Structure formats: C-alpha cells, structure tokens
C-alpha cells in the first residue's frame, strides 16, 4: 500500500516535469524519425556529380551522361561560371568537365570519402561508355544485394538505429534518472528528511525503481510502434527473447546508476564520473554506427563495456530473429557487470 502510493507519487511528480518527459519519451522518437528519414532505406543514397556544360556536346559526352544515369548518381548540370561558384562554396564533391579528347575530374579534398566513391562510379561509367562508343562488348558488373547481418530481409538504417536507441534509453535511465537523481537527493538532504520518518527507506527506493521500470517499458513500446508504423520495421525474433535481453540490460544499467552514485558526493562530481562512462559507451558501442573502421584494440576494449554486447544481442533478436545461443558470451559480460554493480551498490550506497 505504502509502496503503491510512493509509486503513484513518483509518476504524478514526473508527469509535471515537462523537460524530463520530453527527453525520455519524445527525444528517442524524434531521433528515430530524423535519422530514419535522412537515411531512408531501400534506395542507396544518390551521389551528386556536377557536370560542367560544354559549349558543344560531343558523342563521348552523351555516352557518358547516358551511362551515368544507370548508376546511383544525381547529375547537376551547370554553366562553367555557376560550377565555379558552387565549387568555391565547397558544396561540390566531384566535378567533371569535357576536354577535347577526354574528361577532367576534380575531387573536393574536404569531402574525401564521398568524393572518392563518386569518382570511382564515374570511372566505371566512363569505361562502359567507351566500350559502347567503340562497339565492344560491355564490361559486366557484379550484382549487389542488400541483406542484414543475420541474412534476414533487407533492413534499413532505422532498423539498425532502433535497438541502438533502446540501449541508449536504458543507459541514460540508469546513469541519470537513477544515479544522478539519487546523488542529488543525498546532496540536497531529501534522504535525511525521509530518514527522520518511520518509512522504511527500501520502500522509497523500490517505488523509484518501479517508476523507472514502467517508464522504460512505455518508452520501448513507443519506439517499437513508431518503428513499425513509420518505417515498417518490426521485431523479427520472439518477443520473449526481446524481453529477456531488455530485462538483463535494464538490471545492468540500473545497478550501474546505483553503484556510481555511491562514488560521488555532489552532482558535479557525479556528472564527471558518469560522463566518463556514458560518452565512450554512446560513441563506441554501436548505437548510431558500427565501429568497423576503428582500430582493433578499440573494438575489443569496447566489448568489455556492457552496452556493446547488449546491443549485439538485442539486434540479433530484433533484426535477425536469432536465438541467443551465439550471444551467451556477450550477455554473460552484461550479467557480470550487473552483478558487480549490484554488489558495489549494496556495499557502498549511502543515505547521507
């Protein structure tokens, strides 16, 4: 009864905190909508190429432009003067210009990744158009298909991002809504005010934990619904396994919040300590992108932090409908973190 009242009060007060509501419920959805739409799945992003309009079109020009159309490129035709203005503004990644016997191509040194990719596509198109002009057989291209890592149906970026956001939610719930909040309660003397009443303190903490759990549950359901309605992505695996992974993750990050809160006396110290964990995990655990290009040592050390193995298991279930058998090791790491943090929290948690 007391616990239920405490839980209801947490919700009542929480519902009045507009900023907290926005960050917990609206922000992850906006992230999903924003990035999901920018990198809308299905079609590959178009690479734009600036084509400088020559005074006179020659057959080789026509052949190249026609071939380029078959590639995922967007051709921007500009006069020499306009092309120069655009180049000077730094907006052009690649620019091609017709010369008397061939072409000239410029690649923007600031946009190297995009530029090089585009340049290769243009080179291919050039070879094909040359063969066409000379009546030779056309070079064959290797067929490309899109698949998710678990060979499930082609997934888009939103499908990759959604489990990442679920993980981010859990992490910020644990480190901020639990850890930070309890440090500030201790700092401001809220725990002391409770300590002079006969209320058992575990009831207060349990009420808080129950509130955070329901918040997480609602957040998760919201994201799953938006993912399904807007991007047509849905859980490929069993909801039972999804729930198992989520419960392990929730326990881990909540315990981490409680454990960390015992190492700081003030909110400022806590912010410093928690950011030391939060930012490496956010950027290095594959929330928004994979770490494929990162050095080996970095990839391996990140596995030791719980978010990365958690996300791998979550994506395996959600995106590939996999069983968890291949993720026992990863989930084991998460469970070890949970047990260690829980032990630390029990041993070190202070009210005053």
Q: How far is the CB of 188 from another protein (least distance, A)?
A: 4
DSSP 8-state secondary structure symbol assigned to residue 143? P
**Residue 189 binding another protein, by CB under 8 A:** yes
Q: Report H helices in the chain.
A: 2-15, 18-21, 27-38, 59-68, 80-89, 112-133, 157-172, 181-188, 190-195, 201-231, 239-261, 267-284, 296-303, 307-320, 328-348
Residue 257's CB is within 10 A of a number of other CB atoms, namely: 27
Residues 230 and 36: their CA atoms lie apart, in Å, by 9
Interface pick for another protein out of 11, 13, 80, 323 (rule CB under 8 A): 13
Which window, 122-130, 182-190, 240-248, 275-283, contacts another protein (CB under 8 A)? 182-190
Q: Which is nearer to another protein, 152 or 205 (CB)?
A: 205
Which window, 65-73, 194-202, 243-251, 309-317, contacts another protein (CB under 8 A)? 194-202
Q: How far is the CB of 5 from another protein (least distance, A)?
A: 6
Binding residues for another protein, rule CB under 8 A, total 20
**Residue 19 binding another protein, by CB under 8 A:** no
Q: Which is nearer to another protein, 13 or 218 (CB)?
A: 13
Q: How far is the CB of 144 from another protein (least distance, A)?
A: 55
For the chain, the C-alpha Rg in angstroms (whole number) is: 27
- Among 335, 330, 298, 293, which Cα is nearest to 314's? 330
Which window, 27-35, 167-175, 191-199, 312-320, contacts another protein (CB under 8 A)? 191-199
Interface pick for another protein out of 190, 263, 321, 333 (rule CB under 8 A): 190
CB-based burial label for 328 (10 Å; 0-12, 13-18, 19+): exposed
Q: Which is nearer to another protein, 87 or 191 (CB)?
A: 191
Q: Which is nearer to another protein, 19 or 88 (CB)?
A: 19
**Residue 86 binding another protein, by CB under 8 A:** no
**Residue 221 binding another protein, by CB under 8 A:** no
Q: How far is the CB of 10 from another protein (least distance, A)?
A: 10
Residues 170 and 179: their CA atoms lie apart, in Å, by 12
Interface pick for another protein out of 193, 228, 348, 350 (rule CB under 8 A): 193
Residues 337 and 330: their CA atoms lie apart, in Å, by 11
DSSP 8-state secondary structure symbol assigned to residue 99? -
**From the centroid of its chain, how far is CA 330?**
19
Which residues contact another protein by CB under 8 A? Answer: 2, 5, 9, 12-13, 16-17, 185, 188-190, 192-199, 352
């Amino acid at each position: 009864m007391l616990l239920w009242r405490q839980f209801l009060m947490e919700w009542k007060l929480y519902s009045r905190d507009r900023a907290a509501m926005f960050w917990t419920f609206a922000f992850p959805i906006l992230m999903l909508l924003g990035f999901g739409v920018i990198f809308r799945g299905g079609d590959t992003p178009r690479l734009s190429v600036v084509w400088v309009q020559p005074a006179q079109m020659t057959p080789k020009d026509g052949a190249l432009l026609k071939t380029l159309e078959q590639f995922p490129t967007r051709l921007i035709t500009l006069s020499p003067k306009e092309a120069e203005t655009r180049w000077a503004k730094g907006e052009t990644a690649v620019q091609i210009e017709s010369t008397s016997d061939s072409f000239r191509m410029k690649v923007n040194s600031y946009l190297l990744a995009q530029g090089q990719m585009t340049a290769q596509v243009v080179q291919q198109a050039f070879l094909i158009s040359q063969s066409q002009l000379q009546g030779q057989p056309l070079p064959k291209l290797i067929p490309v298909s899109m698949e998710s890592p678990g060979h499930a149906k082609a997934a888009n970026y939103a499908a990759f991002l959604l489990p990442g956001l679920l993980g981010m939610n859990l992490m910020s719930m644990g480190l901020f809504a639990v850890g930070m909040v309890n440090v500030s309660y201790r700092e401001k003397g809220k725990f002391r005010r409770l300590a002079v009443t006969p209320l058992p303190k575990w009831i207060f903490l349990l009420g808080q934990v129950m509130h955070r759990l329901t918040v997480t549950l609602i957040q998760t359901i919201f994201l799953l619904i938006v993912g399904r309605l807007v991007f047509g992505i849905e859980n490929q695996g069993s909801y039972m396994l999804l729930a198992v992974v989520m419960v392990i993750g929730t326990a881990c990050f909540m315990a981490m919040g409680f454990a960390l809160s015992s190492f700081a006396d003030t909110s400022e110290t806590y912010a410093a300590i928690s950011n030391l964990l939060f930012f490496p995990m956010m950027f290095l655990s594959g929330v928004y992108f994979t770490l494929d290009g990162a050095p080996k040592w970095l990839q391996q050390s990140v596995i030791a932090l719980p978010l990365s193995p958690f996300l791998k298991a979550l994506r395996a279930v959600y995106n590939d409908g996999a069983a968890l058998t291949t993720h026992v090791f990863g989930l084991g790491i998460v469970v070890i973190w949970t047990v260690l943090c829980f032990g630390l929290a029990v041993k070190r948690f202070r009210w005053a």
